[in-house]
């Protein structure tokens, strides 16, 4: 599904990402872990088109995508979340989900102005899809509340629902468990696994929370100071001495 070869990102003299390679297959949950400042979010930004990588090749669904702008990549079926939740705070929960489906509704001005049948049908479908996902992440009761007024855990779930409503093939989550309590983390766990199993979505995630990562990942990549350190199954990573040193050495 996703193939990244020798990704390098330089900012002036600073090398933020150094020769990182990774793959994500269909229906896989892959995690990227590493000490703080390791360049994980930069990798995300490069893959999703927010940064133009200095070097390397990125393939998504067998198409070369490096160099494409962010919104075009997103339309191919790759969506991402951000370290700090980015919701449309003054809009309601349901409106957030409607905006996400912008590509799916009738954006023709005249159809909208005169409420043509096709316009109304597409709007209704978008509403239904939104309602479905709100139910899935258990946010239906707050559908009409401002996104900015939600609790932090709810906002995180809304962000994921907003991604899913675009029916992506690859979901990239940047520290989805940050700031969540253990119960919420467990729910997130279950949600991510169900996304993979029931919705045919591959998931690439960046995380610090080891329990989450170890529990659900099919494979893990470890990055330290922008460079690849190790990769493998959770068990292999847990026993890898370099990884242990990188993490313990930090403290």
Interface residues toward other proteins, by CB under 8 A: 11, 41, 45, 48, 50-51, 69-72, 74-75, 79-82, 86-92, 94-95, 98-100, 102-103, 105-107, 109, 112-113, 127, 130-131, 134, 140, 143-144, 162-163, 166
In whole angstroms, what is the distance from residue 225 CA to residue 20 CA? Answer: 11
* 132/199 with CB nearer other proteins: 132
For residue 92, the minimal CB distance to other proteins (Å) is 5
Measure the CA–CA gap between 231 and 148, rounded to whole angstroms: 38
State the nearest-atom distance from the C-beta of 243 to other proteins, in Å. Answer: 27
Closer to other proteins by Cβ: residue 6 or 89: 89
CB of 163 to other proteins, least distance (A): 8
Query: At which residue do the structure tokens 């996703």 appear?
Result: 2
Least Cα distance to 124 among 101, 157, 146, 108 occurs for: 101
- Least distance from C-beta 242 to other proteins, angstroms? 29
- Rounded to 5 degrees, what are φ and ψ at 30? -115, 135
Query: Which DSSP helix (H) or strand (E) runs through 109?
Result: helix 109-113
Give 203 or 230: the residue with its C-beta nearer to other proteins.
203
| Site of tokens 């932090």 | 152
CB 14 → other proteins: shortest distance, Å? Answer: 11
Specify the 3-state DSSP secondary structure of 91.
coil
According to DSSP, residue 240 is labeled -
Nearer to other proteins, 109 or 248 (CB): 109
Structure tokens at 43: 């990798």
Contact in structure between 224 and 246 (CB atoms under 8 Å): yes
Question: Quick check: helix, strand or coil at residue 27?
Answer: coil
Instruction: Report the nearest approach of other proteins to the CB of residue 183 (Å).
Output: 26
Nearer of residues 110 and 248 to other proteins, judged by Cβ: 110
Nearer to other proteins, 42 or 185 (CB): 42
Say if residues 199 and 169 touch (Cβ distance below 8 Å): no
Q: What does the DSSP 8-state code read for residue 148?
A: G
Name the helix (H) or strand (E) containing 72: helix 70-75
Closer by beta carbon to other proteins, 28 or else 159: 159
User: CB of residue 244 vs other proteins: minimum separation in angstroms?
Assistant: 31
């Amino acid at each position: 599904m996703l193939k990244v070869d020798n990704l390098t990102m330089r900012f002036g003299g600073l090398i933020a990402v150094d020769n990182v390679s990774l793959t994500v297959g269909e229906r896989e949950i892959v995690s990227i872990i590493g000490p703080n400042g390791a360049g994980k979010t930069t990798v995300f930004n490069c893959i999703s088109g927010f940064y133009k990588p200095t070097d390397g090749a990125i393939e998504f669904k067998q198409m070369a995508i490096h160099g494409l702008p962010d919104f075009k990549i997103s339309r191919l079926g790759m969506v991402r979340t951000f370290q700090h939740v980015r919701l449309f705070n003054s809009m309601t929960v349901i409106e957030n989900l409607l905006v996400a489906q912008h590509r799916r509704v009738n954006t023709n001005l005249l159809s909208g102005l005169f409420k043509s049948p096709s316009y109304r049908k597409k709007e209704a479908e978008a509403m239904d899809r939104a309602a479905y996902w709100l139910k899935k992440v258990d946010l239906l009761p707050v559908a009409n509340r401002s996104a900015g007024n939600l609790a932090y855990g709810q906002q995180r779930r809304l962000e994921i629902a907003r991604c899913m409503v675009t029916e992506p093939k690859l979901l990239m989550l940047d520290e989805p468990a940050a700031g969540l309590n253990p119960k919420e983390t467990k729910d997130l766990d279950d949600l991510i696994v169900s996304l993979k199993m029931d919705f045919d979505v591959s998931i690439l995630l960046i995380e610090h929370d080891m329990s989450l990562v170890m529990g659900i990942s099919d494979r893990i990549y470890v990055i330290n100071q922008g460079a690849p350190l190790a990769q493998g199954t959770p068990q292999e990573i847990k026993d890898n001495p370099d990884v242990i040193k990188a993490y313990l050495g930090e403290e």
